[in-house]
Chains A and B, each alone.
Chain A
Amino acid sequence: MKSRPSFYMSSFNEYTKTLSKFVLFLFIFLAINNFFEVQLENIAGSTDLYAQVKWNEFYGLPSNSVNLVFIGSSYSYRTFDPEVFDKKLNINSFNMGSPLQKPVETYYVLKETLKYQKPSLVVLDINWGLFNDDKYLNTKLWNFDNMKFSANKIGYLLNVFDVDQYSYALFKTVRYHQHTEELIKKLMGKDVTASSVNLDSYLKNYKGKGFIVDNNVVDVNTIKSKFDNAIKSPKTYVWNKKQLKYLDKIVNLCKKKGIKLIFVTAPQSPIYLELYDAYWFDYENINKTANKIADMYEVEYIDYNMINKEKKLVTNEDFSDSSHLNYGGAQKVSSHLAQYLLNSKGKYFKK
């Protein structure tokens, strides 16, 4: 190979020229990338419509107008209906729950929430199943895609995603690259059936303020069938250290902002809990650990599975699947918690 003249940069002009070329190259790259992103997203179809609507609604709220925030996984947004709390307590509440939201995600979602709102109480879903470190990408994206750009969003990117997921979070061309075949067909003028979702039918279950309704009633046999080949050997659940670290950060964030915090565990269907306890994990141990954590932080903990064992607040018919309440069930649990807050002698809200 012939040696080309060396380009040792001693001159400022040469640096500027190279830098300008680099910026132009980057700009064209982003423009082309954007073209492909739009095309691919149209083909792939959005899967985060609930998240889009919820975040839009949230960002549209007047500043400091929310008194109560529910936060956590689907156990939060499928259990706590803000409307029930608003009526009963004469407040304004909002549910910031999202699918598979683990404490690490909750921390950044809560930080984002507190940038715009100053609630006096946060009800945090601490379902033990979220204290894991699974690598599932999609649900992490649902909050990321809809959060406004800020240092907090960068924090979310760096801490919620694995390093190898960064490119998926930042570039939709990377995220949807498996749809390239359809894109090629489309660019060649062929008909491509986009995996589009009927927005109206999709959103009819969104009741507003982050709450999602499901009217289905679970078939108990379906739950039982999950354990058909299982062996009865309940183990002790191991709570993931990273998620515990972020739970600590959530507690400290609330303390720093002078916000009261309640930990809750939404109920599982009684049949599922009974089988889960018998076959997979010892629930008493899970409850003990959760109580220990709450005691350590001096935070009140409400475990609806234990309450349900005593008071039979909800039955199997109140669930849409093994673990999520249907609308009827959600109304019962929401009313119970609202009443509890009302009875708390002004600890959380004035009567």
Chain B
Amino acid sequence: MIFTSTKFIIFFSLATILYYIVKDKYRWIVLLIASYYFYMLWNVKYTLFILITTITTYLTGILMDRYSSQKAKKSLLVMNLIINSSILFLFKYFNFISSSLNNVLKWVSLSYRFPTLDLLLPIGISFYTFKALGYTIDVYRENIKAEKHFGIFALFLSFFPQVLSGPIDRSYNLIPQFHEKHHIDLTRIKDGFILMLWGFFKKLVIADNLALFINPVFNHPQNYKGIPLILASIFFAFQIYCDFSGYSDVAIGCAKVLGFNSINNFNNPYTSKSVPEFWRRWHISLSSWFRDYVYIPLGGNRVSTKRWCFNQLIVFLLSGLWHGANWTFVIWGILHGILTIISKLTKNIRNQLTDKLGFNRHPRFHSILQMILTFLLVDFAWIFFRANSLSDAIYIISNMFKDISSGLSLSYMAELLASFGIEKYDFIITMTFLMLLVLMEYIKSSNSILEIVGSKPIWIRWSFYYILIFSIILLGGYGYEEQTQFLYVQF
């Protein structure tokens, strides 16, 4: 059951009604049942693994609270980290490591082969495992008290708006909210629905329509040269943004309707003026997780430059691996690590260059230039993220600037669109919406669509809502036989 399906709309409506009908003290039960039902619809067997993570993490928290000895607490922490990471490793990384080692063995002409397992990755495992690990570390650090209520804790890990693709909410943000009373607040409910609508718009109207162009190119890059490769690479930056931020908006909106405030996940990432800034604005719940639970324990920025560079590479390598067990993700992560290091190491030189070129006299022009440059760097890295293999990524990079002149004609573009089965007007409208989105992201100082729209007169607000609704209905890339999954669900 994906967020953009009618099934989900019905499920969510029923869950919300039931949630508000029952007494406060039983509401967690409604949410827990709804969350497990939602999760089980993907595959009943997956429930076993989320249950194992829930039980072991819950018990670890309780025991940590009970023992005062730091040594015992540390042992419990290590044990829990091993159990949860092992499950994640088994499903996500075992085959990757096995087949990588087998390739090495084949290369050195050895006949031994490591076994591979025929396992299907439990959906949302990376997200709920990170939630659980974060909770355990927080209890160990005594940032929060261990949750005594097993049902509430199980709900924290399985909360249906977040279980598939986050945001990876923090225990200290979400768990206390499950204990609070949530009255029917119509403004909050309305805001939640608007956020959901905005998410559906980004996903169905922009991301899914861009996918029609991107998928054929990235799935068979060898068939293309020049412009199609450039366009597909640029479009992918927006597809993944609209897809994942769209998902996050729907998830945060759902939680809001039910009375919960989730951690924010995006803050106009493509308006970043440097790669480190991009990471403060992109998938915030994950990057802040790595910051708090990996980067800072490694020493943060209070270490030597050499050590800092090493830490950055470790964090970004882990971030790449978190996204998927594939060399393309490893390269993507390392690339971001290198770009972050270069960004810091060249800061003084760049500042001097800015002064020399007189950019500081034109701050707006300078910031636009920085944004474009950052976007191009991030977009370059996205090629590795989206490519099906390293060889595909290398092909795209080495061929994207070939035969450019032949691809610049309108007739070529029309032919290309037709070969992808894309209607000309649909494409023009998608591009228009994309431009408007970029413009809006650039202009708006606030992160929230709710604030931008909420302050406008009613006729503007309603026109905006109707435009969103009818754009989704008329232009959305959906079909009852085939529903396009959110990209981040695979992670």
Contact = CB atoms under 8 A, between A and B. Distances in A.
B450 interface: yes
A6 B185 contact: yes
Given A8-B185, A180-B474, A29 B451 contact: no
A36 interface: yes
Interface in A16-68: 18, 25, 28-29, 32-33, 36
Contact of B469 (A29, A166, A181): A29
Contact of A8 (B183, B451, B473, B483): B183
Interface string A1-14: 11010111100001
Q: Which of B6, B7, B469 has the most CB of A within 10 A?
A: B6
Main secondary structure of the interface of B (DSSP, over half): helix
Given A7-B188, A171-B473, A185-B425, A28 B481 contact: no
Interface string B180-216: 0001111110000000000000000000000000000
B466 A28 contact: yes
B473 A173 contact: yes
B7 A1 contact: no
Contacts of A1: 446-448, 450-451
A14 B466 CA distance: 24
B473 A164 contact: no
A183 interface: yes
Contact of B6 (A135, A167, A177): A167
Nearest to B429: A184
A165 interface: yes
Interface residues of B, number: 34
Contact of A164 (B424, B448, B483): B483
Contact of B426 (A36, A165, A180): A180
B9 to A, nearest CB: 8
B429 to A, nearest CB: 7
A168 B480 contact: yes
A199 interface: no
Contact of B480 (A7, A18, A162, A173): A162
Nearest to B474: A180
A217 interface: no
Contacts of A15: 186
A26 B480 CA distance: 24
Interface string B434-478: 000000000000111011001000000010011001100111101
A166 B478 CA distance: 14
Contacts of B429: 184
B119 interface: no
B481 A135 contact: yes
A273 interface: no
B470 A36 contact: yes
A192 B462 CA distance: 31
B118 interface: no
B256 to A, nearest CB: 12
Contact of A183 (B424, B448, B474, B478): B474
A36 B483 CA distance: 23
B10 interface: yes
A167 B478 CA distance: 12
A25 B481 contact: no
A177 B450 contact: no
Interface in A134-175: 135, 137, 162-168, 171, 173-174
14 contacts: A1-B448, A4-B187, A6-B187, A7-B187, A8-B184, A8-B185, A28-B466, A33-B473, A36-B473, A164-B7, A174-B473, A180-B474, A184-B425, A184-B429
Given A2-B451, A18-B186, A164-B6, 13 more contacts: A1-B451, A4-B454, A6-B187, A7-B185, A9-B185, A28-B466, A36-B474, A135-B480, A163-B6, A164-B5, A164-B7, A164-B480, A177-B473
Q: Which 7 A-B pairs have the closest CB atoms?
A: A7-B187, A181-B423, A180-B474, A163-B7, A184-B425, A164-B6, A181-B425
Interface of B: 5-7, 10, 183-188, 423-426, 429, 446-448, 450-451, 454, 462, 465-466, 469-470, 473-476, 478, 480-481, 483
